[in-house]
Amino acid sequence: MNLTLKIWRQKNASDKGKMVEYKVTDISEHMSFLEMLDVLNEQLVAKGEEPVAFDHDCREGICGMCSLYINGEAHGPDRGVTTCQLHMRMFNDGDTIFIEPFRAKAFPVIKDLVVDRSAFDRIQQAGGFVSVNTSGNTQDANAIPVNKENADKAFDAATCIGCGACVATCKNSSAMLFVGAKVSQYALLPQGQVEATDRVLNMVAQMDLEGFGNCTNTGACEVECPKGISLENIARMNSEYLKASLKG
């Protein structure tokens, strides 16, 4: 498979940046997208050129580090996968592929395709911690009954890996699906009730402070999310926020 790659190159956050065209040949359809970029970088290094910077870690769809905007879609044309799980069989011989970083005010470019997503970390930190003793001298798991439906929804919300695809695909760069998931995974469990009020108020305040946009219920975030996080979590976060605001 021979491909033309148009890749965003940017030296640092203050650099203007531009799209640069590269050619890659003999790409196997069984390669992952990141393996294809590895091939490109090996060729660039061999020619004495600077390789393309991109984020990656586990390459197993767990960490969310590999986030790329490919042909106008977060994580590319496949569904339910991260960029590292995207395979070249989703493309055709002779294709031109546009590769960009996630673009959002709250995700400034560090270099090339790498963005700073530490805003997500600060939002989670603003949520604080669970004060209920969950380590050491803990209660037996069955001592605190949890409705199975709530437990299932909490686990579904907790599958969010914080990749930022929801932000990248939203026309307003909203982080509400991410924050909604992080709020929901605690709001649905008894262990999360003690700090529930402060948690949602502080996380939403930090989200706004970071410069993320507002949700307009377009639904693109759920479509592009590699873990299929439901919009229901945004509705739950709004409900939790309203209840917390009335308590204040």
Q: Quick: pLDDT tens for 54-89.
A: 999 999 999 999 999 999 999 999 999 999 999 999
* pLDDT at 134 (0 to 100): 64
Percent of the chain with pLDDT over 70: 96
Residues 47 and 148: beta-carbon distance below 8 Å: no
Reply yes or no on whether the pLDDT at 182 is more than 90: yes
* pLDDT at 107 (0 to 100): 97
Strand partners, 87: 32
Rounded-to-integer distance, Cα 104 and Cα 174, Å: 9
Rounded-to-integer distance, Cα 111 and Cα 99, Å: 13
Rounded-to-integer distance, Cα 20 and Cα 35, Å: 19
* pLDDT at 29 (0 to 100): 96
pTM for the full predicted model: 0.93
Residues 212 and 104: beta-carbon distance below 8 Å: yes
| Averaged pLDDT for residues 141-170 | 92
**What is the tens place of the pLDDT at every residue in 13-66?**
899 999 999 999 999 999 999 999 999 999 999 999 999 999 999 999 999 999
* pLDDT at 141 (0 to 100): 65
Q: What Cα–Cα distance (Å) separates residue 77 from each residue in 28, 86, 161, 229?
A: 18, 8, 19, 18
